[in-house]
Amino acid sequence: MPEIARRAAEAKARLQHVSATASSADGAVTVTVNTSGALQELSFGPRADELPRTRLAQAVLAAAKRAQVDAAQQLTAIMAPVIGPDSDAMHFLQEQIPAPELPEEAEKAPRWEFAAETPPPPPVRPARPPRRDDDEDFGGPILRRGL
């Protein structure tokens, strides 16, 4: 019992200091989470100013998910000596930690996307038919008549 109590106290002390930090590949975003995956810190690098808001939000979420996976791995590594790496308690703990899907890292440089189709050319005006001078039937144009 004293050995188990010692390992439990040691695990408790280590768990209080567990955090995980992850950054986007381009350095635009850095996040830190605690053992429960809660966001503790969020910072933006200079590259963040160049990203559209949707891409920046995706980078924050991707970094947070990677940090959460790291924190969960630290948690199970700390608890394994206390409860046993293959015990029912460890299996229960692992079941309580959802395995988030790790998103792929966004590209380092912005990618400009263009429409797959090029816009159609402007409509071509039909050529004007040759002008017929209808004024000949009435003695020519009015403005050329001498008054």
Tens of pLDDT, residue by residue over 90-136, are: 888 888 776 666 655 544 444 444 444 555 667 777 777 666 655 55
Tens of pLDDT, residue by residue over 74-85, are: 888 888 888 888
Domain spans in the chain, listed from the N-terminal domain onward: 2-96
Cβ-based neighbour number of residue 31 at 10 Å: 24
Q: Is 99 exposed, middle or buried (0-12, 13-18, 19+ CB in 10 A)?
A: exposed
pLDDT of residue 126: 72
Write down the pTM of the prediction: 0.61
Tens of pLDDT, residue by residue over 10-23, are: 888 888 888 999 99
Distance of CA 141 to the CA centre of its chain: 71
Instruction: Tell me which residue has tokens 């002390």.
Output: 13
pLDDT of residue 73: 87
Q: Which CATH class is domain 2-96?
A: alpha beta
Distances (CA, A) of 131 to 126, 136, 137: 14, 12, 14
